[in-house]
Every structure is written in structure tokens, then in C-alpha cells.
């Protein structure tokens, strides 16, 4: 099956769903005005993938910021992934910044709503990456 590759923009995430290389990842920010439109092709791709998934799939969600409209669509993705999980071995790795308690709790929320295995992965941003700014 052909890979789905969507490049990141200022307000939409990078998406790489690549069965051949076994990479399934959503990263960067998700703040589109129209989340339904943005995620429609992603959901379509997953519905096709569902018919013939790899024996084992690991989905990495590594999102820095998302709006509520996106969180509904991300859940739609997870809902489909949960179905893939009925026929094959699936793991969702939910990455979140250690200081971002809301991204963590969204991950926790999802674990309560679906059966697929979830791994919450906390990371700490390298301070060096931050720019030269200070507080107001």
C-alpha cells in the first residue's frame, strides 16, 4: 500500500504513514481552521490500511499543540486504529512535553475510551533549543 505523506505547515502536522518502512507518525502542531477537511484524507487512508494491516503497527503521536477541533479528529483516527487493533497487533505511543499537563491528560483520556494499547511517553525539551527570550 502506498505511503501517506503530508508535509507540515505552520498550522497543520506532518503525517507519515508508511507501511513499507513501518513508520506511522503524526508530529508538529495541529491548529487548522478546518480540521475535518484536513483529516479527511488521513481517515480515508486508515480505512484502506485497516483492510490489510501489517502484523504489528506502532503509531507515534507527537503533537506539540492542537486545537479542540483537531482533538475530535485525532480521536476519530484513534477510533479507527482501535478497529485495526481487532485484527492485528497495534500500539499507540502518545508523546507529550513534560510541562504540558493538558497534552498528557488528553492521552490519558483516550486510553479510557479505546481498547488499543497506549504508551504515554514523556519528553523534556532541551533548554538550549529555546530562543533568547525572557518573561514579560
Partner 1 sequence: MRQTTKRSLKLTYDLFSRVKTGDFEYIYRGAFTQNLTRKILSLAESNLQRFVDKSSLQNRIYFIMVEGLQNVTRHQEPTNDSKSEHAGIFAIQKVENRYIITTGNTIVNTKVDSLKQRLEKVNNLDREELKKLHREILSTGELSDKGGAGLGLIEMARRSGNRLTFDFEYIDLYWSYFYLQTEIPSRTYARDAAEELEESNAMRDIKHLNHILDKKDILLNFNGSFNQNNILSLLSIIKGQMRVNKSAKKVYYIMVEMLQNISKHGNFHEENTDGNPGIFYLGQTEDEYVLTSGNYIPNEYVADVKERLDIINDMDSNELNEYFNKILLDQNVIDPKKTGLGFVDMRLKSSRKIAYDFKEIDDKYSFFTLQTSVQIN
Assign 42 to helix, strand or coil: helix
At closest approach, how far in Å is the CB of 112 from partner 1? Answer: 7
By C-beta, is 14 or 89 nearer to partner 1?
Answer: 14
State yes or no: residue 126 binds partner 1 (CB under 8 A). no
Nearest CA-CA partner of 77 in 45, 29, 120, 112: 45
Assign 133 to helix, strand or coil: coil
State yes or no: residue 112 binds partner 1 (CB under 8 A). yes
Element (DSSP H or E) covering residue 120: strand 117-123
User: Rule CB under 8 A: which residues touch partner 1?
Assistant: 10-11, 31, 33, 36, 65, 67-69, 71-72, 75, 97, 99-102, 109, 112-113, 125, 130-136
Amino acid at each position: 500500500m502506498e505511503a501517506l505523506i503530508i508535509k507540515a505547515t505552520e498550522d497543520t502536522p506532518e503525517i507519515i504513514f508508511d507501511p513499507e518502512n513501518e513508520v506511522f507518525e503524526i508530529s508538529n502542531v495541529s491548529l487548522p481552521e478546518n480540521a475535518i477537511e484536513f483529516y479527511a484524507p488521513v481517515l480515508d487512508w486508515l480505512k484502506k490500511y485497516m483492510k490489510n494491516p501489517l502484523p504489528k503497527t506502532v503509531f507515534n503521536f507527537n503533537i506539540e499543540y492542537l486545537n479542540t477541533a483537531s482533538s475530535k479528529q485525532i480521536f476519530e483516527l484513534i477510533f479507527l486504529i482501535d478497529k485495526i487493533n481487532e485484527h492485528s497487533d497495534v500500539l499507540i505511543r502518545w508523546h507529550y512535553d513534560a510541562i504540558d499537563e493538558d497534552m498528557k491528560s488528553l492521552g490519558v483520556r483516550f486510553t479510557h475510551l479505546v481498547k488499543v494499547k497506549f504508551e504515554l511517553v514523556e519528553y523534556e525539551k532541551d533548554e538550549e533549543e529555546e530562543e533568547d527570550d525572557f518573561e514579560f
